[in-house]
Structure 1
Amino acid sequence: MELGLRDTVVLVTGASRGLGAAIAVALAGEGAQVVAAARSKDALEEVAARGGGRISVAEADMRDEASTLALVDTVVSRYGRIDGLVNNAGIAPAGKFADQDPAIWRDAMQVNVIAPMLLAQAAGRHMIGQGGGRIVSVASTTGVRGKPYLVAYSTSKGAVVRMTEALAAEWAPRNVQVNCLAPGAFKTDAQSAVLESPDLLRRRVAKIPAGRMADPDELVPLACLLVSPRASFTTGAVFVVDGGESGKL
């Protein structure tokens, strides 16, 4: 099915590796002009090299609000519009809650909640002005069901889910669709400790009815669909992609 993404302009954050990189490359493959954003320019350039000339890069730090907001201005300055935003950048601090420094919670909220809200607001203003657009935020299954030792992460991703639902209802009359992906266990750098330990990997996979962890490319088709005009009546939805783990009793 043709997704209608050719020559649309999409900003993807956290695009230097993992899920963000896979989404950026796939969108470029569908004909979109992608701006891939992250802190590491070298890693971004490697991703851009896989984009067939349709990925440009932009350095940004989600901890810095000015840097975050400048991203949307950069996209519009380069291409004159912004049709899609994929809020993928995030951090997942782990540890015993009773021992954690509150600074860790604030950092997680800044990167995982405040930055996506700032980008959604800035991009949304342009989308409304041009007649529509689509925002997709990458949350987590821990934002749907809390997980021990990831309290700050779970809290922040739960906030992203609620933001998605509320903003979708507010902007549906303006033809801006807002949706959320909640991935489970994917083979990314964030899971390196699990992937490199046969024992940890065995225990992690035992919790997943599908019997394995997923490859980043397995999130890509849904992400591309939600960024496309084909999803024009889909808004406020949270799509769990976890091999059945959240549904297991």
Structure 2
Amino acid sequence: MDLRLTDTVVLVTGASRGLGAAMALALAAEGAYVVAAARSKDSLAEVAAQGGGRISAVEVDLRDEDSVRALVPEVLARHGRIDGLVNNAGIAPAGKFATQDPEIWKDALTVNVIAPMLLAQAAGVRMIEQGGGRIVNVASTTGLRGKPFLVPYSTSKGAVVRFTEALAAEWAGKNVQVNCIAPGAFVTDAQKAVTDSPELHAKRIAKIPAGRMADPSELVPLTCLLVSPVSAFTTGATFVVDGGESGKL
């Protein structure tokens, strides 16, 4: 299937490693021009070097509103348009709720909710001017069901799901599709403590009907489809990719 991504322009946040890097590389392989954004300059450069000239890197700190607000204008300065936005970056502070500092909550909400909102607003306005576009928000299965010791993360990712639905309804008539992906357990640096421990790894995969954790490459076909104009009638949906974990009793 031709996803009609050739020469489209897509911004991917959190693109220096893990899921974000896999998404950026896959979109570039489909012919898109990708602006890969993250805090890590060196890691971004490594991703861009693999993109066949179709990935450019830009540093951004999602905790800094000025940095976030400058991102979409930078994409437009480089390419003159923006056809897709993948809000992938996020943080997952862990700890006991009873003793958590409110600053931890502010940090999680700033990175996981406010930054995607600002980027969706800036990108979406330009997409509407262009005649359409697609926004993909990356949530988590912990945004669908609460998880102990990850209360700020779970709360913020639940907000991302509702944000996706509400914005999709508001912009559907403007040919801007807004969808959400909720990944489960993937083998990334964020899961290193689990994957490096045979005991923790065994406990983790015991919860997954598929009997394993996923590779980041297994998320990219769905991402490319949702960023593609061929999915123009799909909006306001949350796609769960978790090996059946959230669907079992």
1:67-78, aligned counterparts within 5 Å?
67-78=67-78
CA distance in structure 1 between the aligned counterparts of 2:47 and 2:30, rounded to whole angstroms? 15
* 1:125 equivalent in alignment to 2:125: yes
Segments of 5+ residues of structure 1 without an aligned counterpart are none
Residue 182 of structure 1 corresponds to which residue in structure 2?
182
Residue 206 of structure 2 corresponds to which residue in structure 1?
206
RMSD: 0.4
Secondary structure of the equivalent of 1:153?
A: helix
* 1:107 equivalent in alignment to 2:98: no
CA distance in structure 2 between the aligned counterparts of 1:184 and 1:50, rounded to whole angstroms? 26
Residue 222 of structure 1 corresponds to which residue in structure 2?
222
Secondary structure of the equivalent of 1:235?
A: coil
Residue 94 of structure 1 corresponds to which residue in structure 2?
94
* 1:166 equivalent in alignment to 2:166: yes
Q: Which runs of 4+ in 1 moved over 2 A?
A: none
Residue 2 of structure 1 corresponds to which residue in structure 2?
2
Secondary structure of the equivalent of 1:230?
A: helix
CA distance in structure 2 between the aligned counterparts of 1:28 and 1:115, rounded to whole angstroms? 24
Counterpart code for 1:6 = T
Residue 22 of structure 1 corresponds to which residue in structure 2?
22
Number of positions where the alignment pairs a residue of Structure 1 with one of Structure 2: 249
Counterpart code for 1:143 = G
Q: Deviations over 1:168-200 (max 9, x none)?
A: 000000000000000000000100000000000
CA distance in structure 2 between the aligned counterparts of 1:87 and 1:69, rounded to whole angstroms? 14
Segments of 5+ residues of structure 2 without an aligned counterpart are none
Residue 149 of structure 1 corresponds to which residue in structure 2?
149
Secondary structure of the equivalent of 2:70?
A: helix
Residue 195 of structure 2 corresponds to which residue in structure 1?
195
Q: Deviations over 1:91-121 (max 9, x none)?
A: 0001110011111011000000000000000
1:210 positional shift:
0.1
CA distance in structure 1 between the aligned counterparts of 2:71 and 2:187, rounded to whole angstroms? 28
Identity within the alignment, %: 79
CA distance in structure 1 between the aligned counterparts of 2:11 and 2:34, rounded to whole angstroms? 6
CA distance in structure 2 between the aligned counterparts of 1:195 and 1:99, rounded to whole angstroms? 28
Secondary structure of the equivalent of 2:177?
A: strand
CA distance in structure 2 between the aligned counterparts of 1:143 and 1:129, rounded to whole angstroms? 32
CA distance in structure 2 between the aligned counterparts of 1:156 and 1:31, rounded to whole angstroms? 33
TM-score, normalised by the number of residues in structure 2: 1.00
CA distance in structure 2 between the aligned counterparts of 1:206 and 1:99, rounded to whole angstroms? 30
Q: Deviations over 1:122-162 (max 9, x none)?
A: 00010000000000010000001111110000000000000
Secondary structure of the equivalent of 2:11?
A: strand
CA distance in structure 1 between the aligned counterparts of 2:60 and 2:102, rounded to whole angstroms? 24
* 1:81 equivalent in alignment to 2:81: yes
Q: Deviations over 1:2-27 (max 9, x none)?
A: 10000000000000000000000000
Secondary structure of the equivalent of 2:136?
A: strand
Counterpart code for 1:71 = L
